[in-house]
C-alpha cells in the first residue's frame, strides 16, 4: 500500500455513490471520519503513517541513486571503450 493511501486513514473511503450523495447532503450528515479509540491510538496511527512515508521517500531516493550510479558506470565504460579504440587505431 502506498503512503498516500496510508495518510488518508482518517478520511472515509471515497466512492462514486458517496460523491453523488454529498451533492444532496445539505445537513452534512455524511461528514463521518474514521476515528480512534483514544488520542494515544490516534497519535500512534499518525506516527506509523509518517514513518511509512519516510521509508517510502528513502526507498525512492535509494532507487534514484542506484539508477544514477548505474548510468555513470555505463558512461565510464563507454568512455574507456572509446579511449581504447583510439589507442588501437593510433598504432
Model-wide pTM > 0.85: no
Tell me, what's the pLDDT at 59?
95
Grid cell listed for 11: 478520511
Decide which of 85 and 49 is more confident.
Answer: 49
Domain total of the chain: 1
Longest dimension (CA), the chain: 88
Decide which of 76 and 33 is more confident.
Answer: 76
Grid cell listed for 22: 454529498
Residue range(s) defining the domain that contains residue 50: 3-90
pLDDT digits (tens, 9 = 90+) for 44-84: 988 998 899 899 999 999 999 999 999 999 989 888 887 88
Euclidean distance between CA atoms 1 and 9, whole angstroms = 12
Q: Average pLDDT for residues 34-38, to the nearest whole number?
A: 82
Tell me, what's the pLDDT at 89?
76
Tell me, what's the pLDDT at 10?
62
Amino acid at each position: 500500500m502506498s503512503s498516500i493511501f496510508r495518510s488518508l486513514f482518517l478520511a472515509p473511503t471515497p466512492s462514486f455513490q458517496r460523491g453523488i450523495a454529498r451533492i444532496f447532503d445539505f445537513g452534512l450528515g455524511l461528514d463521518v471520519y474514521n476515528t480512534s479509540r483514544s488520542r494515544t491510538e490516534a497519535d500512534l496511527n499518525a506516527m506509523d503513517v509518517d514513518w511509512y512515508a519516510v521509508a517510502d521517500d528513502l526507498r525512492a531516493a535509494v532507487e534514484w541513486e542506484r539508477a544514477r550510479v548505474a548510468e555513470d558506470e555505463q558512461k565510464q565504460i563507454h568512455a574507456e571503450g572509446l579511449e581504447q579504440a583510439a589507442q588501437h587505431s593510433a598504432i
